[in-house]
């Protein structure tokens, strides 16, 4: 049996949806406080929470697919130290995604956020401001570290494409 030269369609689609959600969530998370208080800020926070819940579903699908599908695990493009580092970087990306999502869910639960004014997430302990700030800070830290590592991940893909001239980036773009 021959080894595939590119990732399967599901892996590619889930990868790029994850990338788009992470970027959109980070940008929205950085700008929520810029929205005027009231309905505009509730809408921005609601969108952030809804996209975060979507990321949780996509992450669960990705993990399930990655554990089940052999086509999601291609051999390294080469034999260098970057190829030995890549699996650890992917594991760290998954761990940071999971941490950011779980901390985001904990944040929404602790705050008791309204979702588009349609319903309210019950608050775990609205009076505990210290816990709320701690969860917010950890969520922000996980998101910032995730975005930094994702940026390095993207830079590594570009390095492979333009400097090493191998097929690493083409594999994730669905091209040979």
| pTM, 2 dp | 0.90
- Give per-residue pLDDT as tens, 81-123: 777 888 899 999 999 999 999 999 999 999 999 999 999 999 9
Mean pLDDT of 18-29: 98
Architecture of domain 9-173: Up-down Bundle (1.20)
Give me the residue spans of the domains in the chain: 9-173
pLDDT for res 75: 63
Most confident of 5-14, 60-69, 93-102: 93-102
- H-only helix segments in 69-128: 81-111
pLDDT for res 93: 96
pLDDT for res 1: 46
Q: Are 45 and 52 in contact (CB under 8 A)?
A: no
Long-range contacts, stretch 54-57, CB < 8 angstroms, 24+ apart: 54/21, 55/18, 55/21, 55/22, 55/25, 55/97, 55/101, 56/101, 56/105
Residue 76 has pLDDT above 70, yes or no: no
Mean of pLDDT over the chain: 89
């Amino acid at each position: 049996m021959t080894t595939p030269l590119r990732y399967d369609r599901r892996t590619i689609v889930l990868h790029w949806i994850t990338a788009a959600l992470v970027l959109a969530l980070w940008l929205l998370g950085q700008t929520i406080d810029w929205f005027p208080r009231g309905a505009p800020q509730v809408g921005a926070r609601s969108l952030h929470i809804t996209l975060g819940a979507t990321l949780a579903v996509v992450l669960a699908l990705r993990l399930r697919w990655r554990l089940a599908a052999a086509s999601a695990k291609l051999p390294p493009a080469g034999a260098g130290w970057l190829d030995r580092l890549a699996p650890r970087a992917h594991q760290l990306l998954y761990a940071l995604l999971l941490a950011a999502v779980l901390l985001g869910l904990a944040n929404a639960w602790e705050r008791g956020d309204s979702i588009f004014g349609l319903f309210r997430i019950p608050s775990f302990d609205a009076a505990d401001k210290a816990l709320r700030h701690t969860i917010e800070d950890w969520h922000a830290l996980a998101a910032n570290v995730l975005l930094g590592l994702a940026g390095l991940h993207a830079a590594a893909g570009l390095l492979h494409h333009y400097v090493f001239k191998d097929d690493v980036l083409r594999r994730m773009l669905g091209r040979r």
